[in-house]
Amino acid sequence: MHKTQEVALKIIAKTPKGAARAKLLQNEAFRSLVLNSGANVTIYDGEVQNGDSCGERLQNVCIGLLQRQNKAGKPDGLGSLGGMAERTGKKEFDSLNPEQRAELIGQRDDVISVHGMPHLTHRMDIIIHNNVMREMREELADLGISGELINPDKLELIAMPNVKDDNYMINIWNGEGPCYAVTPYCHLYKDNEGLLDRLVAGAKEHAGGEARGFIKMPLFEALGAYGHSGAKDCALEDGRDAIKDYRYPHEHLAAWRLAINLLGNEQQTMLDLAKEVQDASPHLISFKRLAEATGQTMKDVAAIINVSTTTLQEMDRLAMQRFKAKSSRQNTAEI
């Protein structure tokens, strides 16, 4: 398998970035050779209130967002706490003595203690929980925060059966070092103990690392945090704003799923929500763009956020309609 993975990576490295690499990874058998998983958690607090609009009903609900930075120290988008899994192959595990294996517990997401002995597990529920907990420790450590934990048994997994996070391999990777196609696992977590406030208060920017800050954002505002245009020196590879936008589209979909969980998924409420978010956003709110960015169909995205495909398509149409109307009014005003 190692040699096969190595050959696959060489093929990808020699393939031009963009559409050509994407076509390679459409072959699931080929993609499986370079596949890893990732896991993240959207922590939220607050309760839905009575109100005449969706925005009013969600006004007291906030989520925690990590302010990411790249290796050059520049902003790299907003996101949930989480990242890629750290795994141990069977060949490596078998080559280690018991003491070396024990040292991997807490460092590798697939090495656990069973009756006091290190054990290599292939159970995805265990791996993704360990993935979330380890990444949370590491990212908060970048901000000078330690000792803050969540209960992994209270993580609420969002089903995303066809979601893909292959953007780095397709559009960014220069052929050097390890690289993976990634299947992400997104979770929600209700904070009833002031965790988000403590993280905001305790976060301090440090040189290096993936995190440059931690903020608490109103959920309604987060629903529009995908599609801002970024200045040339502060933009993600697809041109989006590296300060205002989510880095990863699947994490943005988790925010939509949370809002719909809280509001209920009755069709008219969902249509009102899409219109309100669009009215508050300077850019187009596009579920089609999110589907493309995660390698999915509109049917897949509808299932993720728990609405019917018909409702999602109508949400998308209404957002486009209101965006065009707003753009037309602005253009008329400028003449």
DSSP string, 116-139: TEEEE---HHHHHHHHHHHHHHHH
305 inside domain:
no
Residues 153 and 215 in one domain: yes
Whether residue 54 is found in the same domain as residue 15: no
Q: What is the mean pLDDT of the chain?
A: 94
Does residue 272 lie in a domain region?
Answer: no
Asked if the structure places residue 202 within a domain, the reply is yes
Residue 73 clears pLDDT 90, i.e. is over it: no
Q: Is residue 308 part of a domain?
A: no
Tell me how long the chain is: 335
What does the alpha-carbon distance between residue 205 and residue 319 come to, in Å, rounded to a whole number? Answer: 37
Shared-domain flag, residues 161 and 25? no
Kindly state whether residue 321 falls inside one of the protein's structural domains.
no
Residue 27 and residue 171 in contact, taking contact as beta carbons nearer than 8 Å: no
At 328, is the pLDDT very low, low, confident or very high (cuts 50, 70, 90)?
A: confident
pLDDT of 241 strictly over 50: yes
Q: Are residues 21 and 46 in the same domain?
A: no
Confidence check: pLDDT of 156 > 90: yes
Instruction: Give the whole-angstrom CA distance, residue 335 versus residue 328.
Output: 11
pLDDT score of 271: 98
Domain contains 266: no
Domain enclosing residue 187, as ranges: 37-258
49 and 11 in a common domain: no
Mean pLDDT of 240-257: 97
Domain assignment of residue 263, yes or no: no
Stretch 221-246: mean pLDDT = 94
What confidence score (pLDDT) does residue 2 get?
Answer: 52
Same domain, 15 and 140: no
What pLDDT is recorded for position 1?
A: 46
CA-wise closest residue to 229 among 176, 298, 282 = 282
Q: Are residues 12 and 117 located together in one domain of the fold?
A: no
What is the pLDDT at residue 72? Answer: 86
d(CA 114, CA 146): 26
Stronger pLDDT, 46 or 234, i.e. the higher one:
46
Same domain, 8 and 127: no
Residue 206 has pLDDT above 90, yes or no: no
The number of folded domains in the chain is 2
Q: Enter the pTM of the model.
A: 0.93
Same domain? For 43 and 135 the reply is yes
Q: What share of the chain has pLDDT > 70, as a percent? A: 98
Please list the alpha-helical segments (H only) found in the chain: 2-14, 19-25, 28-32, 54-57, 90-95, 98-103, 124-142, 167, 195-202, 219-222, 249-263, 267-279, 287-293, 298-305, 309-334
**Based on the domain organization, do 147 and 243 belong to the same domain?**
yes
95 and 183 inside one domain: yes
Residue 273 lies in a domain: no
Looking at residues 261-277, what average pLDDT do you find?
Answer: 97
How far apart are alpha carbons 82 and 232 in whole angstroms? Answer: 27
- For residue 237, give both structure tokens: 């590879």
pLDDT of residue 334: 62
Domain end among 258, 276, 305:
258
Q: What is the pLDDT of residues 288-319, one digit of tens each?
A: 999 999 999 999 999 999 999 999 999 999 99
Assess whether 19 and 68 both reside in one domain: no
The tokens describing 249, both together, are 């589209």
